Structure 1
């Protein structure tokens, strides 16, 4: 080959790959994007249903604005709990005790002795109780080798019982104006509860996607043995994941106490199921190793929107729960038959058609 020919070859522009533009969209890297777009589509559909069923309400722009913030406030406490749950599930575990942690942290932080230390003492107590119970869960699972389902189920019963014992089965009123004001305070027209949710979600997103802790969480959930061989202390990391879930439960306890101006042993009932459902809807695999904070947040907002939609249409809670159950089943089925499989099938069919 002559120098001129070689130069011509080097200068010849590469032929564009007709499938290059869609390869990323069809790959695993875009699956979370596709799922989140699908969740946004579900939200739009719910809004359309609301407009059709209650045009009198949706015709009032002021009501629409207030209703959006009402939905976000409704989603705030569950959203904080779901962030912690998402980390646990991605790490290959499950936490059935988060609702009980919220109740125990709320009751402990509203005792007369704790309230005597002011708002700082109440917040410190709630967070400490949440992290402490989470660490106990992590110790039982990591070093006691208990199955997460059993360990956290036992903690659910024990924490509820301890909360009932501390409160003497009575509702404890919060007399602290600072704590109570969290639910009623607005900044630039946005409720403080929404700001707290945003801070927890952003922190969770950064922790999962931009730190070594997040990468280790995915590794531990995807393949614990491979993670161990790679030098990750799987037991310690698992314990920290449950402590993180407990911390989120402590934050949620303060938020829920602020909303009700009180705490009791029965508060946050079934929050663990709502958090698990929201995480699943958002694309978190129950088997671990995959999940997104944004997807979980969208799952929480979808459930809050459904609750709001049923409320403004005076529909029963039973019907609402049936709809939620159906959504969970569909979400799990989608996880079983992933979008990737469908796109690969279509891709193969296109190739066969082109060849023939």
Structure 2
């Protein structure tokens, strides 16, 4: 069989690149180089800048306290004891705030955290539970908090209820159940091990502060160094995209509310230790304090972004404001008004960032020149 010669046409064709080209990786700061701002002005450093701003707010509050009460702030021993008092004041709400941070980053909201703390506290201080000792009380509080949180998650994920409605209903139901269990009476904790948690210290620092630090560290690792944290951020950013990427959005949401309930169980033991008792009205408005701290910390209410450190700084800021108002003899009503103003300002900052302002001014300059 004769062969047919194929003429070489490579000389007539234009030069082409290789079919498989290996692109060189772009520099890590390529996006920032285009804007000319460097790493500090990029999105990667946004949480750092936000947290430094919160530290600046704390410093400003300390300066205000030093100006209004120079005699107190001139005593180093009083200052140290006051710092410990602020951290102790922030410890219980701080633990609740860690769980709330996960829920809000995941695109939800939990209005029932205060009621869950009350229910867990009342349940673990019943005579039947206290008969099992400190371990039984801790176990009861954690299980009650976890189970109620999981119920919230199931209602939202599989019952298709709006988180606001589901958790609002749980707020009413949990308070009612706590009142029913306690017969509307204050239940005294007779366990010295539980009661000593709030009064004991280690190296001069209250145990409650150590508990807050441990919960905060665990939350930071869970959010930033685990698949659970990455899935939480993905769901909060875009739940449908997360589902298409293979994430079980419903199950993840159940776990988020279960985690929030577990934090409430820990907070119930801490609050019971502080008061050496529990009642259905305890932890009143804790949900508002936790949500406010999360917002101040920079977590988006729409979900998809937030930090544990920022939320804890928000808790400390509110505790410092409370302390500042107390030492100056100001009313609680004035304190609440200031807190409300801070929350509104934080939300406005989220919606209208400084970068948007600079872009607006730049557009105006271009328009005026043309």
Q: Above 0.5 in TM-score? A: yes
Q: CA deviation at 1:345?
A: 5.6
> Which residue in 2 is equivalent to 1:102?
117
> Which residue in 2 is equivalent to 1:334?
349
> Which residue in 1 is equivalent to 2:284?
269
Cα pair 1:275 1:300 within 8 Å, conserved = yes
Q: Secondary structure of 2:184's partner?
A: coil
> Which residue in 2 is equivalent to 1:148?
163
- TM-score of the aligned structures, taking structure 1 as reference length: 0.92
* The one of 201, 204, 217 aligned to 1:186: 201
Q: CA deviation at 1:25?
A: 1.7
- TM-score of the aligned structures, taking structure 2 as reference length: 0.88
Q: CA deviation at 1:76?
A: 0.2
> Which residue in 2 is equivalent to 1:69?
84
> Which residue in 2 is equivalent to 1:24?
39
Q: CA deviation at 1:342?
A: 3.9
Q: CA deviation at 1:332?
A: 0.2
2:320 & 2:363 partners in 1: Cα distance? 39
* The one of 243, 254, 258 aligned to 1:228: 243
> Which residue in 1 is equivalent to 2:310?
295
* The one of 53, 57, 69 aligned to 1:42: 57
- Deviation digits for residues 181-210 of structure 1 (CA, Å, limit 9, x no counterpart): 000110011100000000000000000000
Cα pair 1:169 1:265 within 8 Å, conserved = yes
Q: CA deviation at 1:35?
A: 1.0
Structure 2 unpaired stretches of 5+: 1-31
Report 1:37-186 matches (<5 A): 37-186=52-201
1:349 to 1:199, Cα distance in 2 relative to 1, 3 A: farther
Q: CA deviation at 1:277?
A: 0.3
Report 1:274-353 matches (<5 A): 274-342=289-357
- Deviation digits for residues 74-122 of structure 1 (CA, Å, limit 9, x no counterpart): 0000000000000000000000000000000000000000000000000
Q: CA deviation at 1:29?
A: 1.3
Richer in helix (by share): 1
Q: CA deviation at 1:343?
A: 5.4
1:163 & 1:18 partners in 2: Cα distance? 58
Q: Secondary structure of 1:95's partner?
A: coil
Instruction: Out of 232-241 and 28-37, give the one that drifted further.
Output: 28-37
Cα pair 1:105 1:125 within 8 Å, conserved = yes
Q: CA deviation at 1:341?
A: 2.4
- Deviation digits for residues 242-282 of structure 1 (CA, Å, limit 9, x no counterpart): 00000000000000000000000000000000000000000
1:18 to 1:289, Cα distance in 2 relative to 1, 3 A: closer
* The one of 208, 212, 217 aligned to 1:197: 212
Cα pair 1:26 1:340 within 8 Å, conserved = no
> Which residue in 2 is equivalent to 1:252?
267
1:119 & 1:142 partners in 2: Cα distance? 34
Structure 1 unpaired stretches of 5+: 1-16
Instruction: Out of 32-41 and 219-228, give the one that drifted further.
Output: 32-41
Q: CA deviation at 1:37?
A: 1.0
1:156 & 1:18 partners in 2: Cα distance? 50
Aligned length: 339
Q: CA deviation at 1:349?
A: 9.0
Q: CA deviation at 1:22?
A: 3.1
Instruction: Out of 23-32 and 224-233, give the one that drifted further.
Output: 23-32
> Which residue in 2 is equivalent to 1:8?
none
2:243 & 2:113 partners in 1: Cα distance? 27
